[in-house]
Structure 1
Amino acid sequence: MNDPHDLELRLLVDAIYQRYHYDFRHYAMVSLRRRMAAATARFGAKTLSELQGRILREPALFAQLLDYLTVQVSEMFRDPAYFLALRREVLPRLQTFPSFKIWVAGCSNGEEAYSLAILLQEAGLLPRAMIYATDINATSLERARAGVFPLARMADFSAAYQRAGGQAPFSDYYTANYGNALMDKALRKAIVFADHSLATDSVFAEVQFVSCRNVLIYFDRALQDRALGLFRDALPVGGFLGIGSRESVRFSAHAAAFREVAGPERIYQRVRD
């Protein structure tokens, strides 16, 4: 017998899809349960059904709910070994192109995109690059576009940057003012932040590198396969894909399209499949 709470949850995400065209129907149920329990408490609803009724009638409330439904936790140079592997395995290949594009899928507040921009800057590649950073949360995209982060976070970002092979004082990449840090203008100009859904949208450009880390773990198998199919189609043969440390392409429907180039860091290269 189906759990009544799970039925309520499925009705809620289906209602969100019908009303707002955001598709969470193939997000992992364990994650959805946890996030919606927090949202129900936050918005003072007694049940998911009550929360559903309010969301359908209050678009402003749905905008707030997106912060619970989407991944908001990120850091600059998260998992420094990943960025060391990019320096070793990916940047030498990108250096062979007169220009190239990078897609950061599920960019949240922009930490990953700015980290990659700094990496390219230090390799002398930023003037050749266009970084597309996408997410479905409009509020997150606005924060990312502004390039402003709490100054209190800079110490942790700086430590991770140094472990990732940083070549300069991290403070060279931002300006501190009134408790905030504004990322350098050259970094902000290199990134285009845009709305894109891995659940419903198609490929929008050919890119040489896709970085989508710690996003697939929130999807069920069908949506993971859909997202990996988009990355496969976006990458030419020889292009690179980076995913999270707890994610893999090995058992996906698109495993044959990728070969592992840095196993522990989850970096793959597109091959003919």
Structure 2
Amino acid sequence: MTDSVEDLEIQLLLEALFGRYHYDFRNYARASIKRRITQARQNLGFASVSALQASLLHDPATLAALLGYLTVQVSEMFRDPSYFRALREKVLPHLRTYPSLKVWVAGCSHGEELYSLAVLFREEGLHERTLFYATDINPEALRAAEAGVYPLDRMRKFTENHQKSGAKTSLSDYYVADYGRAIFDKTLRSQVVFSDHSLATDAVFAEMHLISCRNVLIYFDRPLQDRVLGLFRDSLARQGFLGLGAKESLRFSSHAEAFAEFVRDEKIYRRREP
């Protein structure tokens, strides 16, 4: 099979995914999406991408399996601790001045970043006045995030990250160990709204004081990155904050002028006044 035929098959698969289920991966970075579809085809036992597409159109179970490959679900709590330290020391003093807060974790995956922020806000006395929105396009990921259960052997790394973030408590205060699992305190998600939301197709998501979307834009092509950054701009309250991943930037975006660098090294920006 030539590359051109496979590329056409992949394009048709993405069109079918959008037309049948309204999941839009058509503007994701092509090299990444091709690699993920190839892996899915091989692991799910399909001889060709066309065969995978046929199953996708007629068997909803294939959708759930395919989404597991197309969406990135690798994260850890307090990943890049210096980012969370910067939020704690430089962003939260500003957020503290508001009587109520809204925080959006866009592309929340299995919830590691959500629970990191929930713990951070609780340590800083802001949890009870904050409403968190955790969104993802993968329903399985959302269910995992809402459950708040992680393998116990991951807690050592999570705890190290937490301490480096300037922790004021012990991470073990927020979960119980049970048969090799760490089950996080349900009160951490008492202020959380879990919702299906596509950055590729859906509209503005309320008015936020902080949006944290890290290591998601790197999987999008330039036009889709631009769309998403415009969405974030329109979703932020006046002088709201945006946190991106270490390898992400506003530099080449048409929306760059809407944001000012707030903590340059941690890719934290603040919406400029119109």
Quote the residue 1:188 is aligned against.
189
Quote the residue 2:149 is aligned against.
148
How far apart are the structure 1 equivalents of 2:99 and 2:26? 41
Shift in CA distance, 264/56, structure 1 to aligned 2, threshold 3 Å: same
Quote the residue 1:162 is aligned against.
163
Which letter does structure 2 place at the counterpart of 1:34?
R
Quote the residue 1:48 is aligned against.
49
- The SS at the match of 1:157 is helix
How far apart are the structure 1 equivalents of 2:237 and 2:271? 7
Root-mean-square deviation (Å) = 1.2
Map 1:180-219; keep pairs closer than 5 Å.
180-219=181-220
1:123 matched to 2:124? The reply is yes
Which letter does structure 1 place at the counterpart of 2:21?
Y
How far apart are the structure 2 equivalents of 1:183 and 1:40? 35
Q: CA deviation at 1:212?
A: 0.3
How far apart are the structure 1 equivalents of 2:66 and 2:60? 10
Spell out, residue by residue over 1:172-222, the C-alpha distance to the aligned partner (whole angstroms, 9 max, x if none). 011111111111122121221111000111013001000000000000111
Quote the residue 1:16 is aligned against.
17
Which letter does structure 1 place at the counterpart of 2:92?
L
Spell out, residue by residue over 1:143-170, the C-alpha distance to the aligned partner (whole angstroms, 9 max, x if none). 1111111111111100111111112221
How far apart are the structure 2 equivalents of 1:239 and 1:113? 18
- The SS at the match of 2:132 is strand
Q: CA deviation at 1:262?
A: 0.9
TM-score by length of 1: 0.97
TM-score by length of 2: 0.97
Quote the residue 1:176 is aligned against.
177
- The SS at the match of 1:107 is coil
Quote the residue 1:66 is aligned against.
67
- Mark the runs of 5 or more structure 1 residues left unpaired by the alignment: none
Spell out, residue by residue over 1:75-125, the C-alpha distance to the aligned partner (whole angstroms, 9 max, x if none). 100011100111122100110001010000000001000000011011011
How far apart are the structure 1 equivalents of 2:27 and 2:55? 22
How far apart are the structure 1 equivalents of 2:212 and 2:120? 13
How far apart are the structure 1 equivalents of 2:232 and 2:101? 16
How far apart are the structure 2 equivalents of 1:265 and 1:125? 22
Quote the residue 1:94 is aligned against.
95
- The SS at the match of 2:265 is coil
- Mark the runs of 5 or more structure 2 residues left unpaired by the alignment: none
